[in-house]
Amino acid sequence: MQAKEIEVKGIKNGILVEVKDGDWQTQKDALLQHIDQNQGFFEGAQLVVNVGSRVLKSPDLASLRNALSDREIKLWAVLSTSLVTERTSQDLGLAIMVDQSSPGPEKDPINSLLDGDEAVFLRRTLRSGHKVKHPGHIVVLGDVNPGAELIAGGNIIVWGKLRGVVHAGAMGDTEAVVCSLDLSPTQLRIADKISISPPKKGKARPEIAQLENGQVTARDWSKFTR
């Protein structure tokens, strides 16, 4: 039986995964495979799994929790409309209710004729040891120093110097881009393609990196077209 698409959303204290209807073992294997393919994004995360109306018992959830633990991921909560599944979750010390709102303060919706995408905005310099992960886009107003890391499901825009490690399209989006006023990352990755920046020659200029013919390429930001 073929697994159905898995939906992933960033919430205030972790990552919410919605497992679609279908054979549980098939969907669980698909979830673990998705995590393995996006290890950098999920590593160290608290996971909330919405299993819908499935009736899951202790061996089912314990097996999932152990598989996630082996991947350095904590199963924090299981959401379900099944009373049996809720009781099983509580017996295993898992939460059955969480705040599902997105990270950051709630704001009034933007009145626009154009559709937008979810993004996190950081107005600061990211120093060595800082790590930011977000299912949507990441925008930084400041520098990203060596030793800092950005992992985004979408695009990454740095209005400053980019010297750290960045991974755009971390969940497989080959259309994702990385932009910076000074693009000199220690490592740059888009989807599953990796590039290491050569030494800079001349004056720094705004650049954008994207996938072209399966390779990461960078060009002047002003010359970017989609």
Does the pLDDT at position 84 exceed 90?
yes
**Domain map of the chain by residue range?**
7-91, 119-221
Token pair for residue 197? 């920046």
Question: Sorting pLDDT into bands at 50, 70 and 90, what band is 2?
Answer: very low
Does the pLDDT at position 189 exceed 80?
yes
Fold of the domain spanning 119-221:
Pectate Lyase C-like (2.160.20)
Q: For the chain, where are the alpha helices, taking DSSP H only?
A: 24-37, 39-42, 58-70, 83-91
- pTM for the structure as a whole: 0.60
Does the pLDDT at position 1 exceed 50?
no
CB 182 within 8 A of CB 194: no
d(CA 47, CA 26) in angstroms, rounded, equals 19
CB 146 within 8 A of CB 126: no
- The four Cα atoms 92, 97, 100, 106 give a dihedral, to 10 degrees, of -140
d(CA 154, CA 138) in angstroms, rounded, equals 8
A 10 A CB-CB count for 180 gives: 27
Q: Roughly what angle, to the nearest 10 degrees, separates helices 24-37 and 58-70?
A: 10
Contacts of residue 149, defined as CB under 8 A and 6 or more positions apart, other chains included, come to 130, 131, 132, 164, 165, 166, 167
Fold of the domain spanning 7-91:
Alpha-Beta Plaits (3.30.70)
d(CA 79, CA 18) in angstroms, rounded, equals 9
**Looking at residue 148, what is its pLDDT?**
93
Q: Could you report the per-residue pLDDT of 112-168, keeping only the tens digit for each?
A: 555 567 789 999 999 998 988 888 899 999 999 999 999 888 999 999 999 999 999
